[in-house]
């Protein structure tokens, strides 16, 4: 669905209305969506679609993923604590054991990725040698 500029602008204003202390206030969001569905203003489906995209992006920014090659003693709690000090509280925390990393750790916050794994370093070396 192509979203018009006006619908994007309206969705952005509504999204800002739903923010409270830097995160989405779910009660305001539910109320807003209910009102949009009840009143059905012009281009409301486009506004809802763009609002959905903005919320999904905000949730992704607040999702922290820690992957390690072996199990960390504290299930990544120390890493999550440091991430929350830097980026604020997380909506979702995921800890995964990925043996394919060979060694090291990989951290993802939203679309930002910090990869300190041996597998990543080997890929970089391979890329340099293949040039």
pLDDT attached to residue 21: 84
pLDDT attached to residue 18: 94
Structure tokens at 84: 């929350």
What CA–CA distances, in Å, run from 11 to 6, 34, 57? 9, 14, 13
pLDDT digit string, tens, across residues 28-86: 999 999 999 999 999 999 999 999 999 999 999 999 999 999 999 898 999 999 999 99
Q: How confident is the model at residue 131 (pLDDT cuts 50, 70, 90)?
A: confident
Eight-class DSSP state of 67: E
pLDDT digit string, tens, across residues 12-28: 999 999 998 878 899 99
80-116 burial, b for 16+ CB within 10 Å, e for fewer? beebeeeeeebeebebeeeeebeebbbbbbeeeeebe
pLDDT digit string, tens, across residues 76-124: 999 999 999 999 888 899 999 999 999 999 999 988 999 999 999 999 9
Contact between 99 and 109 under an 8 Å Cβ cutoff? The reply is no
Structure tokens at 18: 């739903």
Structure tokens at 24: 């989405």
Name the one residue in this structure whose structure tokens are 């779910």. Answer: 26
pLDDT attached to residue 10: 96
Task: With a cut of 90, say whether residue 1 has pLDDT above it.
Answer: no
């Amino acid at each position: 669905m192509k979203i018009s500029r006006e619908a994007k602008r309206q969705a952005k204003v509504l999204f800002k209305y739903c923010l409270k202390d830097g995160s989405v206030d779910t009660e305001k969001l539910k109320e807003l969506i209910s009102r949009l569905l009840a009143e059905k203003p012009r281009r409301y489906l486009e506004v809802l679609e763009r609002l959905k995209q903005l919320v999904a992006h905000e949730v992704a920014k607040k999702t922290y993923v820690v992957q390690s090659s072996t199990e960390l003693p504290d299930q990544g709690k120390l890493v999550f604590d440091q991430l929350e000090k830097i980026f604020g509280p997380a909506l979702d925390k995921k800890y995964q054991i990925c043996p394919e990393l060979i060694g090291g750790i990989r951290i993802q916050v939203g679309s930002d990725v910090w990869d300190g794994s041996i597998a990543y370093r080997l890929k970089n070396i391979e890329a340099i040698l293949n040039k």
